[in-house]
């Protein structure tokens, strides 16, 4: 039962390390390091270690999902138009 409490505390942490952030985002640590190196994801260094604020990651994911929605609608519209012209 102690592990459950410990796990939920880690899940609710505002500042995460690379392992915690990779689990939260569902990507490998290597992928996350790549995104950090390409400045594709919000992160900061604390000492010599990368850290991630959960609120910034949530905001970043929201922005990314909003960017994708119009593209998905355009693709659906183009596919429907193409299907109708055949």
Instruction: Count structural domains, the chain.
Output: 1
- pLDDT of 2 reads 46
CATH of the domain at 47: 1.10.10
Hey, what are 19's tokens? 């392992």
Taking the chain (86 residues) in runs of 10, the rounded mean pLDDT of each run is 47 86 97 96 96 96 85 66 61
Hey, what are 18's tokens? 């690379």
Range of the domain at 17: 2-84
- pLDDT of 71 reads 66
pTM here is 0.66
The per-residue pLDDT for range 62-73, each reduced to its tens digit, is: 999 988 776 666
- pLDDT of 4 reads 46
Return the residue matching tokens 């994801």.
Answer: 41
Q: Tell me the CA end-to-end span of the chain in Å, nearest whole number.
A: 61
């Amino acid at each position: 039962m102690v592990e459950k409490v410990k796990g939920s505390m880690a899940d609710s942490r505002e500042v995460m390390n690379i392992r915690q952030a990779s689990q939260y985002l569902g990507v490998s640590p290597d992928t996350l390091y790549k995104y950090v190196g390409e400045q594709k994801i919000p992160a900061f260094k604390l000492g010599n270690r990368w850290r991630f604020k959960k609120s910034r990651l949530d905001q970043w994911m929201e922005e990314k999902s909003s960017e994708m929605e119009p593209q998905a609608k355009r693709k659906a519209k183009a596919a429907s138009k193409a299907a109708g012209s055949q």
